[in-house]
Structure formats: C-alpha cells, structure tokens
C-alpha cells in the first residue's frame, strides 16, 4: 500500500528529486494558505503587490529591464501589466514623456505568450505621413511610382508578436481607419492590394497627448479610441510617485556605477533635492541627471550640485507665480504625495498632513484629486 504525504498529496518517493521540489513547494503553499487566515485583507493585498513586483523583476527573457517602483500607484500599474499581458487585448498606455511607456509595452510583451515572437516599435510622430502607411501596412509591386517590388509592412513582420504604436495621437486620420479595420477583423491591406490579409498581431499603443481633445478637434476617430481604450494603463508622473523618486535615483546610481566599476553614494542633501525636485522629464530626465552627476562628481559622494538640482529649482513654482497659485501648487503636490505614500488611506494621510479627515476630503474635492 503506497504511503501518501499529507502535505502535498503525492506518493512518498524520497529518492526522486522532483518529489522533493514539489513537496517543498506544496508545503510552503499550504503554510501560506493557513497563515493567510490570520492576515488582514490590507496585509494580503500588500503581499500580493510584493509578489507581483518580484515576478515582474525577474520574469522574462534577456533584455527585460528592471521595472522599479514601490508606490501604490506603480504597484497598481504592475498589477495591470500582469493581468493584461497573457490576454490578446489591445492596450493603450498613457503618460507624460519619460514615464516608462515603452518599458511598459515591452513588459507586457515579455510576459505574454508572444514573448518569443517579434516586438516591433513604430513611432507614428517620427515617420512622415506619406511613408507611414507603407511602413505599417506594406505595398504591392507597382502600387506607386518607385514600388518595383512588393514589401511587407511592420504588421506582417510582427506576425505572431506585438506591435507597439508610439505617439498614436499623431497618426493621420486616413490611417486610423485602416487601424480600426485591423482591430475589428485582424485584417490589414497592403497599398495597392486587391484584398486584405489576416495577421496575428497584438497591438499596444501609447500617447502623451490628451486623446479626448484630439477627438473633439476631429483629429482622432472616436470609434478607434473606444476600441483602444478597452484596457488603459496610465503611468503617473514621477512627481506623484512619493518615495519612488529616491528608490529610482538609488537604483540608477547603483546600476550605472556597477557598469562603470565605481562606487558612489548620494549625500543626504542630494537625496532631499531628489525628493523636492518635480522631475518634469520624469524617469528619462533622472537617468540623464544621474549619468551626468557620476561623471561630474569628483569625490565618492554625489551632491545636489553634481545632480544639477539647484536649490531654487526644487520647488515646482516659477518666479512669476502669484502667492495664491504658489500655495495651491504646493498643497496639491503635498496632498498627492502623501496620499500616495499612504496607499490612499485618508485617515493616515490626514494624520501625516496634520489636518482633519474632513479637511482632506475638502481639499481633494477642491483640487479634483
């Protein structure tokens, strides 16, 4: 009569390495499950967030870059990436310049079933209107003067993989209808072709523009917007990521120093400046400033000056801002950051800000936060 382990349910087989690996995993899962009963929902949520960040960090094949973030807004982004990645849904990524839109698109691809197939990026704003159609959809021989041979477009080249259309807000209207056809029927049409062709491609699009106003001005098709908008990921600007500013800065400092075989650290004053600066160019700006600072710093510590964060720059309020506007800007920034740090817990945020819960609700309403 074979003996069965009451932790993992498998027949006891002490000489099998797979058995030990399986047994260990099942026992740990069982332990986690029993401990979970005594944890609060809040704590379980934090545990899941932590797991999601860890999985995102290590997952995927070569070339997968580390996606850094611990603020509640970024944990939400990571969770969305993990949820949408294995589906075939189109994804619309929104965010200011330098917030990580391309990195997000790549993270989705890397975590999808398409990860071994091509990931092709096209910047709709960088290619002249006349060429964009040929680039995306290809053409048949003789379709226009100079088309001596037929050519595949990027949609066909990305077969089985993902196409990332950056700056989708800049796509000309004439091409938007072709894109809509692709989203509806998965069919693309080469220029000069008689009929369409079915392609198996996942679409991810991104923009740093307000598509709502592009629609109102007639520059973007409403129906295309609704198709794309089915799953949206909004990347928050770095200034709204609370302590992530410091985590990101330390991450890049360590990474670049490692690449250059150096050891450098930030001074306390530099860390304060990183916290206070509004980072209008987001992560990209931070990368540039830190690379430069590593070169500029003569000692092993990196100062506020090395980072080129002069004291007066650190406040997001320009010289010609009136007092009332300046106060409002600071209030909005402080409230957003604190809410972020507290995972949107109003009571905790109010306590940290030194105001009542009711006042915080009033501020939120006043500024539409």
Applying CB under 6 A, the residues found at the interface with ligand ATP are: 65-69, 95, 97-103, 208, 283-284, 287
Cβ distance to ligand ATP smaller for residue 197 or 255: 255
Cβ distance to ligand ATP smaller for residue 81 or 270: 81
Cβ distance to ligand ATP smaller for residue 93 or 270: 93
Cβ distance to ligand ATP smaller for residue 85 or 350: 85
Q: Which does 213 bind (CB under 5 to 8 A by kind): ligand ATP, Mg ion, none?
A: none
Q: Which does 340 bind (CB under 5 to 8 A by kind): Mg ion, ligand ATP, none?
A: none
Query: Under a CB-based contact definition with an 8 Å cutoff, are residues 101 and 234 in contact?
Result: no
Phi-psi region of 252 (alpha: psi -120 to 50; beta: other; left: phi over 0): alpha
CA-to-CA separations, 271 to 123, 243, 250, in angstroms, rounded: 35, 11, 9
CA-to-CA separations, 159 to 186, 279, 294, in angstroms, rounded: 11, 38, 42
Q: Which does 154 bind (CB under 5 to 8 A by kind): ligand ATP, Mg ion, none?
A: none
Min CB(312)–ligand ATP separation in Å: 26
Residue 127 exposed, middle or buried by CB count within 10 Å (0-12, 13-18, 19+): middle
d(C-alpha 84, C-alpha 76), whole Å? 12
What's the per-residue H, E or C state across 237-266?
CHHHCCCHHHHHHHHHHHHHHHHHCCCCEE
Cβ distance to Mg ion smaller for residue 102 or 269: 102
Q: Which does 97 bind (CB under 5 to 8 A by kind): Mg ion, ligand ATP, none?
A: ligand ATP
Q: What angle do CA 347, 349, 351 make, to 5 degrees?
A: 70
Min CB(167)–ligand ATP separation in Å: 8
Positions touching Mg ion (CB under 5 A) are 101-102
Q: Which does 100 bind (CB under 5 to 8 A by kind): ligand ATP, Mg ion, none?
A: ligand ATP
Q: Alpha-carbon Rg of the chain, whole angstroms?
A: 25
**Within 13 Å, how many C-alpha atoms sit on residue 39's CB side?**
14
d(C-alpha 275, C-alpha 253), whole Å? 15
Min CB(341)–ligand ATP separation in Å: 17
Min CB(164)–Mg ion separation in Å: 9
Cβ distance to ligand ATP smaller for residue 108 or 353: 108
Name the nearest CA neighbour of 5 among 29, 32, 20, 17: 20
Q: Which does 284 bind (CB under 5 to 8 A by kind): Mg ion, ligand ATP, none?
A: ligand ATP
Q: Which residue is nearest to ligand ATP (CB)?
A: 100
Q: Which does 69 bind (CB under 5 to 8 A by kind): Mg ion, ligand ATP, none?
A: ligand ATP
Q: Which residue is nearest to Mg ion (CB)?
A: 102
């Amino acid at each position: 009569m074979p003996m069965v382990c009451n932790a993992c349910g498998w027949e006891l087989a002490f000489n099998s390495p797979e058995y030990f690996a399986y047994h260990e995993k099942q026992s740990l899962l069982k332990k986690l499950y029993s401990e979970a009963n005594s944890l609060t929902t809040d704590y379980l949520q934090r545990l899941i967030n932590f797991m999601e960040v860890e999985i995102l960090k290590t997952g995927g094949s070569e070339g997968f870059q580390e996606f850094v973030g611990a603020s509640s807004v970024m944990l939400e982004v990571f969770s969305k990436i993990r949820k949408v990645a294995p589906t075939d849904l189109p994804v619309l990524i929104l965010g200011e310049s330098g917030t990580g839109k391309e990195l997000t698109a790549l993270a989705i691809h890397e975590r999808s079933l398409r990860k071994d197939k091509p990931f092709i990026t096209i910047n709709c704003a960088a290619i002249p209107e006349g060429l964009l159609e040929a680039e995306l959809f290809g053409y048949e021989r003789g379709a226009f003067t100079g088309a001596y041979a037929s050519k595949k477009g990027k949609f066909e080249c990305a077969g089985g993989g993902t196409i990332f259309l950056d700056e989708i807000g800049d796509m000309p209207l004439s091409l938007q209808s072709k894109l809509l056809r692709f989203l509806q029927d998965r069919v693309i049409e080469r220029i000069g072709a008689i009929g369409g062709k079915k392609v198996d491609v996942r679409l991810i699009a991104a923009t740093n523009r307000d598509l709502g106003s592009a629609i109102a001005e007639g520059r973007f098709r409403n129906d295309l917007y609704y198709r794309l908008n089915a799953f949206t990921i909004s990347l928050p600007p770095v200034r709204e990521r609370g302590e992530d500013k410091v985590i990101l800065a330390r991450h890049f400092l360590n990474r670049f120093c490692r690449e250059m075989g150096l050891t450098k650290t930030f001074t306390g004053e530099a860390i304060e400046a990183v916290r206070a600066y509004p980072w209008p160019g987001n992560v990209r700006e931070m990368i540039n400033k830190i690379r430069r600072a590593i070169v500029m710093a003569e000692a092993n510590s990196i100062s506020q000056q090395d980072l080129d964060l002069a004291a007066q720059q650190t406040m997001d309020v320009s010289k010609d801002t009136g007092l009332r506007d300046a106060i409002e800007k600071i209030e909005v920034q402080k409230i957003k950051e604190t809410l972020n740090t507290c995972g949107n817990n109003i009571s905790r945020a109010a306590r940290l800000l030194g105001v009542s819960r009711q006042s915080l609700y009033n501020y939120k309403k006043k500024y539409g936060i």
